[in-house]
Structure formats: structure tokens, C-alpha cells
């Protein structure tokens, strides 16, 4: 199975775009003193774990959403947010 979404475009191009956008998000978080959760790192596991991809081969599975939720929850806890 190709990397997540590979049949929908160049994985390298997609990754570069995501990294550029995430950098902007991180900078805005710093500027406005807002916590930012990095779900991209955990999302990259989908290239070697097909259970993280929905049956359509593009979107995240429920398992992937759970992983994202855990990352976001830790960010909230670490920043003493509800």
C-alpha cells in the first residue's frame, strides 16, 4: 500500500506543503501565546500502518483520530487548559 494519500498526489509535495503550513501555525501560536498540537508527526505513522487510514485510502481512520485526540489532550494538559 502506498503512503497515505499517495495515489492522490505527490507525497513529497504534500509533506512539504504541510510542513510549511505547520511552521506558520507554530509561529502564530508563539506570537499569540497559544498552544499548538503537532498531529503531523503522529500522522506520519500512517505510511507504515494501514489501520490509520480509512477504507477510501485517503482520510484518517477512527484509530488515527484517537491518536490525534491524545496529542491534543496532552497539549491541553501541559498548558493547564480544561
d(CA 57, CA 54): 6
Convert the pLDDT of each residue in 31-48 to its tens digit. 999 999 999 999 999 989
Return the higher-pLDDT residue of 74 and 11. Answer: 74
C-alpha to C-alpha distance for 72 and 69, rounded to whole angstroms = 5
Residue 1 has pLDDT above 50, yes or no: no
Q: How many CA atoms lie within 13 A of 43 on its CB side?
A: 19
Above 80 in pLDDT, residue 8?
A: no
Domain ranges of the chain: 8-78
Amino acid at each position: 500500500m502506498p503512503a497515505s494519500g499517495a495515489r492522490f498526489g505527490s507525497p513529497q509535495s504534500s509533506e512539504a506543503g504541510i510542513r510549511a503550513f505547520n511552521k506558520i501555525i507554530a509561529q502564530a501560536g508563539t506570537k499569540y501565546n497559544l498552544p499548538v498540537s503537532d498531529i503531523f508527526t503522529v500522522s506520519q505513522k500512517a505510511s507504515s500502518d494501514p489501520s490509520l487510514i480509512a477504507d477510501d485510502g485517503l482520510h484518517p481512520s477512527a484509530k488515527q483520530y484517537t491518536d490525534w485526540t491524545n496529542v491534543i489532550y496532552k497539549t491541553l494538559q501541559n498548558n493547564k487548559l480544561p
